[in-house]
Structure 1
């Protein structure tokens, strides 16, 4: 904070883990089962920042349940999946 010249500056950070959000970068993909529209993805990111979440998976489905499962599965099972 001191490097910014304002020692009392209150900075919040949200780490966003983006999934498939429709954009120019991926418009050529033909099979996108978990892709959300740009507006849906952006609203979810903004909501996460406004709620001051430490991290957010956007879109939440299926990445939140998948992430939870991967953290609890035995390492051998995860290795076979990747």
Structure 2
């Protein structure tokens, strides 16, 4: 896990989603909503906002129906989370 995630000014939800994605990726489980949603314990709209926020800050990319974690070197900071 990249500790840089905590220094980007992201929302709690976005960081939580990153941690879920990291765990799934580490476990070699595809980063698809069917695998993410059972681990997400907040409303679906917050999950969608967290995905958008991580994508906006280049932490993740969408690859078809799946997500992919980008290298930390391309992540960008946000000024409002």
TM bucket normalised to smaller? under 0.3
| Structure with bigger gyration radius | 1
Q: TM-score, normalised by structure 1?
A: 0.28
Q: Determine which structure has greater relative contact order: mean sequence separation of CA pairs < 8 Å that are 6+ residues apart, divided by chain length.
A: 2
Normalising to structure 2: TM-score of the pair?
0.28
Per residue, is there more helix in 1 or in 2? 2
